[in-house]
Structure 1
C-alpha cells in the first residue's frame, strides 16, 4: 500500500504527533510512506496532482523520534511524489496553524485533495466535508442534544448578554483555533477582565461562546473514532482523560494538561452513538470527540491526536488497527473499481 500524509510542514512535525506514529507503524507493516506539505502540491499540465515531500529512508525505526529525525535530516532530499498514484492520502494538516502566515494554505490544500479524490485515490477525511469544517461552526450542524448552548458572534454586547444568561459562567474562544489556544474560562471573578478577554478573542475573527459545564473542572475526555465509531482494540477504547492540575481551565495537552487512559462512560458512548451517523455521512473517517459530562464540546476532524499516548499507556496497537483498516479499504477499492471513493470513507 502506498500512503501519503498531508501535513502542515515536515519541519514543524513533532515526535509525539499521531501522524508520525501512524507513519512508523505503516512502514513496519511493509507499506510505502510519504509526507507532503499542503503548500507543496503541483497540478500538472495533464491534470494529475503531484507533491514535493519526503519519504522515510529505512523500513525499521527504533521509535518516533528516530523516524522524525530521518525525515527532518537535511540529507533526506525532497522528492516529487505522484500523489495520484497513491492508494491512500491521509489529510493531517491543522488549519489553525496557518491562520497568521499562510491563511490561504488550508483552502488550497483541500481543493487539491478534492482533485486527487476525483481521480480515484482514497482521501481521508473527506476533503469536501473538511472544507465545510474549517472552523468550529461545523460542530453546530450536529444534533443539538449533544452540544452545549452556544453563541457565535463578534459583538461584545451580545457576548455579555449571553454570559449573563449563563449565570456569569461561560467559555469563550476563537472560532478558528485548536490546542486550547486563546481559550478563556469566564467565572464570577472574571468581571474585571471580561472586556479584555472578549477583545482578545474577536480581534482576529468570530468568537464562539459556550455554556460552562461544571464537570470541566475535572477535565475532559478525548474519544477517538474510526469509521464513525469508537476505536477499540482488545476491548480497550482509544479514550483518555485530559486534565490540568495547575488551575488552567484548559485540559489540552498542548496547553500543559496531563493525560490518563479512561473507560468512556454511558454518557460518552451515547454521545458518540448520536454523532456517528453524521460522522459517517460526512466521511469523517478518523475523528476526536471532546466530551465533558453529558455534552460534547468539540469534534476534531482535522488532526485528531493522542494515538501515541494511548498506545504508550495501554500497550494496545491502535495505530496498527488504523493501518489494517486502510488496507481493507484498498482491497475494497480494487474489487470495486467503479465505486466512488467517497463511499469507501467510512466502510
Structure 2
C-alpha cells in the first residue's frame, strides 16, 4: 500500500545543539526524502493556545534533497532559517527525542514541561512516541528497576556515602557508580581498590545533582557492551540484520559509550541478549515504549534508553542496512491503522501495535 504523505515532528533539546551523527537527524532526513513534512521542536518551543491547544515554534525543511546528514543539519541550523508556528493537532506524529540529562543544570524545568505538553497533544489525533504518560515514569534509572531482577545487575540507589561503601564491601570491593539521571557515560566511575581511597570524593561528585546508582561490576564489561534497538517492544531486524552494535573502550577509560570516545562495530545479538530482549519486551509494550535502546553486558541489561536511543546512523553506515527507513515505514503503518480504526485506538496502543 502506498503511504500517504504524513506530518512528522521531532522534539529535541534544541535545534542549535543537534549533531549530524544523531539518530534524530538521520530519521528526519529519511522522512524528508520521502516527501513527508518534518518539523523539529525544541524543549522550550511549546505553546498552549486557548483556542488551538498545543502549538509550537518549529523548524521546517524548505527543501527535500540533501547530500547527507551534515548537509541536512546545516540547512536546519542556518541562521536565516525562520521558525514556523504550528498546531500539533494538524500533525500526525510527535516523536520525543530529547535527552533530559542535558538539561539538569541550565533548564531543569524543560523536560518535565515538554512531557506535559506531549501528554496534552496525545489527547488529540497526534500519535506521540514514546507514550508520554509512561515516559514520565522513566525520567531516571529507577524505571529500570521495574524489570525482572534476572536481567538486571544488583543495584543500590542512594545519596549516602556509607551505603555506597556497604554495597562495595558486599560485592568484592568493585562496582560502578553513576548519576541516577544521566546519559552518554557522563559521571560514570569504576570503583575498585585502586581508587577506594577517593570513594568519598567520587560519591560526592556523583550525588551533587541528585541520587547515585551503584551497580555490581560485570567482568564481561571489559569487552564493551551491546546496544540493541527495539521497535514496538522487539529487536529491530531488517533484511536479516539486527540493529545491534558492540561498543567498546579504546583507552584506559572503561566507558564504551560512543559519545565518550568508545569504538563500535556491528555485532548480532547472542542468545543471552535475545533472551533479555524477550524478557523486557512485555513491559516495553505495556508502557508504550515504541523505540528504545537496550545496553547489554553478558547476561544482564545495564541500561535502558527510552528518551533518545541512538546509534542508528552508525549502524546504517557500517552495515548499509536502512534501519531508519524501516522505522519510517512503521510510522506510516501506524497512521494507516489509526485512520482505519477511526481514532478508536489509544495512543499507548498505537505506540507499540
TM over 0.5: yes
**Match of residue 301 from structure 2:** 296
The 10-residue stretch of structure 1 (189-198 or 255-264) with the greater mean CA deviation from structure 2? 189-198
The 10-residue stretch of structure 1 (236-245 or 194-203) with the greater mean CA deviation from structure 2? 194-203
Q: Note the 1:49-128 alignment, pairs <5 A.
A: 49-128=54-133
**Match of residue 186 from structure 2:** 181
**Match of residue 39 from structure 1:** 44
Question: 1:47 offset after TM fit, Å?
Answer: 5.2
Q: What is the RMSD computed on CA atoms of the aligned residues?
A: 0.7
**Match of residue 346 from structure 1:** 352
Distance 2:347 2:199 in 1: 48
Distance 2:320 2:33 in 1: 16
- Partner SS state of residue 322, structure 1: helix
The 10-residue stretch of structure 1 (80-89 or 296-305) with the greater mean CA deviation from structure 2? 80-89
Distance 1:156 1:111 in 2: 34
| In the alignment, structure 1 residue 15 sits paired with structure 2 residue 20 | yes
Distance 2:201 2:279 in 1: 37
Distance 1:140 1:217 in 2: 24
**Match of residue 203 from structure 1:** 208
| In the alignment, structure 1 residue 259 sits paired with structure 2 residue 270 | no
Distance 2:340 2:282 in 1: 25
Post-superposition Cα deviations, 1:299-342, rounded to whole Å, max 9, x if no partner, equal 00000001100000000000000000000000000011222222
Question: 1:10 offset after TM fit, Å?
Answer: 0.4
Does the 8 Å contact 2:26/2:324 carry over to 1?
yes
Q: List alignment gaps of at least 5 residues for structure 1.
A: none
**Match of residue 2 from structure 1:** 7
| In the alignment, structure 1 residue 335 sits paired with structure 2 residue 345 | no
| In the alignment, structure 1 residue 152 sits paired with structure 2 residue 160 | no
How many pairs are equivalent?
347
Post-superposition Cα deviations, 1:186-206, rounded to whole Å, max 9, x if no partner, equal 122121221111111111110
Distance 1:106 1:264 in 2: 32
TM-score (norm 2): 0.97
Post-superposition Cα deviations, 1:57-97, rounded to whole Å, max 9, x if no partner, equal 11111000011000000111111011121000000000000
Post-superposition Cα deviations, 1:42-66, rounded to whole Å, max 9, x if no partner, equal 1011251110011111111100001
| In the alignment, structure 1 residue 132 sits paired with structure 2 residue 137 | yes
- Partner SS state of residue 338, structure 1: coil
Q: List alignment gaps of at least 5 residues for structure 2.
A: 1-5
- Partner SS state of residue 40, structure 2: strand
**Match of residue 320 from structure 2:** 315
